[in-house]
Structure 1
Amino acid sequence: MIVSLLYKVARRLLSVPSVLLRRDTTKDAELLVLQHENAVLRRQLAGPVRYEPADRFWFAALSTLIPRRRRREVFPVTPATLLAWHRRFIAAKWDYTARRHTGRPPTPAAVRTLLLRLAQENPRWGHRRIQGELARLGYRIAASAVWEILNAAGVDPPPRRSGPTWREFLTAQAEGIIAADFFHIDTVLGTRLYALVFLEHGTRRLRITGVTACPTREWAVQQARNLAADLGMPMESLRFLVRDRDGKYGAAFDAVFEAEQLEVILSAPRAPRMNAHCERIIGSIRREALDHVLIVGEAHARHVLAAYQQHYNAHRPHQARQQPPPDVRKQSDIAVHDLDTRRVLRTRILGGLINEYRYAA
């Protein structure tokens, strides 16, 4: 558009001398053409002659001032080429390619990211369900566009999309899961002891039911009965027991929990991540207590584990619960005091192996 406007203005300006000075117009135009041609040739002495858009612009504009019979002698190009240039300049006036937007506008990157996030977090949602959720959030997008984006990202349709992972299952069912696992303790004389630990996923409450050197099935059944008696009414909120396939449990162990309407879920062989919460708490018990104490016997092990259990449930902060310990329901239950007026006291657990801090009364 701008080029055609400049071309029209140049032709009008060049037509003024042709009216006032009719005799010298042709001569002056020929001189201008020759001068411009010389400039072009000087610019390109090292190679073939190439005419830039500006050169074509001036040649086409000056052509109106030179008679048609003289153009072959004056201009370095053929009349057909000159006319083609002129047509090209005029056609530019009606060229709307730069202002034309064809096809559907591209989907914004933020919407694509949100779309893929919905597909990842909801594996049972199809592309039309995702489209509806986006529409509810204010993003209007065609169902076919949603399908194309999912297909390009390698996301399969819902029937073939992978279901929830083990971590997603545990998170969704955390309030109703309690997990069990055995771990061993080596005494100072090399005797190996075994402890049975239970962990409630929802509250992260730790329960170490017993320590023994001979973990028989009968002993494990008795620990299950003791736990059921200790839990009492809270057992009604539990729905699943997660344990591994250790032979020390047995069918009688499962029967204790099945009588309380709990479903026993067995983890796969050699898959500790399927009981990750118990594995994690056993690692914490070792790093924070057992690795720093020489255990003498069963009584000593029970004392150390009982002290750690009390510390873990009543005082130790837990990141999964926004720092409150399992026995504290909310962070707001903890009073905040001015450190300038209240002293912080230390309580030594297991001879200073673990420290707890509280405000002075």
Structure 2
Amino acid sequence: MSDTSVKNEESIRNDGRAGPLRIAVVGGGYIGTTVGEGFVEHEDASVVALVDIDESVLAEAGEELQVDSDSRYTDYETMLDAESLDAVLIGTPHTLHYDQILAAFDRDLHVLCDKPLTTDLDQARDLVERDEEREKVLMVGYQRHLYEAFIQAREVWNEEDREPRWITAEVSQDWVDRFEGAWRQNPALSGGGYLYDTGSHLLDGVLWSTRLTPEAVSANMHFLDDDEQVDGRANVTIRFTNGATATFSLSGETPCMREHIRMWDEQGAVALDSKDWEPSEYVEIDEESGEHRPRLLRSEQQTKAEAFLEAIRTDEEPVATALDGLRVTAVTEAAYESARNDGSFVAVDPDDVALD
């Protein structure tokens, strides 16, 4: 953050007064508490309300986030009507995001929503259109936009003579066993399976750092259910308008988490590797000098809370936008359609994924 703090910028408060932004946390689970703690610890924000349908979760998260007992709710709309707020952090199951974002929009609030933006393509399109008409911030919780490794990769592919042509990406973890019986494997709440959960980050990381425009998607999946809604493993291929291809391999059946991405052009490649949810390591590869490991300034890496507050203060586009969310949803929905239809390529609407 710059020396000019949020609390000195009166215009960002809904009531026009100075002071920390008043934030409500929606969902007292992992995202609500971990990202919410970032706001608790920030001098320019204050978590003033919390909502969760589970009263035991509500009590535990309320203590952790230091929310007064009379500002803890089990109904979202009741909280929005009762509390004076500037912003909401939405950390609820995927299929709830759209309605909860709309309710926040109706009250002219800033929104930080966990990924994915939505699990419905029409809803994602609608949010992009509505967001363009608003003056408040809508940020999606794709944290790889804050990782120095992905920022470095994005800078490489922003060079005039560089464009990735061949991309491989994989991610694995113990998702199937860990979340058996949890909402992440309930399609009414998750919207899908492993691809819509951890896989959403992998797709976004590639799409954001390369800026490529998807053209068509093919996929095959191992589904955990007879209705073919919840995948535990997936292989996805994306064809891009520049002729490049990306292949994604995702498994929720391994004993630990690993993520590996390689992006190649005629000059070389960038390689990004992560384990156990740590920010990615970064290597540049070229024919002449071999491997080069630039120094990553991890001490300067922003949290989601810091990035969200900075976007509000500066009135600039957040690091992960509604359009980023739409691009991922468009590719993900095409992948599920393909997997349910023998893996044939499914075209992606260019209006959903083009950056220009």
Same fold (TM over 0.5): no
**Rg comparison, structure with higher value:** 1
In proportion to residue count, which structure has more helix? 1
Structure number with higher relative contact order (C-alpha < 8 Å, ≥ 6 residues apart): 2
TM range (shorter): under 0.3
Q: State the TM-score, normalizing by the size of structure 2.
A: 0.21
Q: State the TM-score, normalizing by the size of structure 1.
A: 0.21
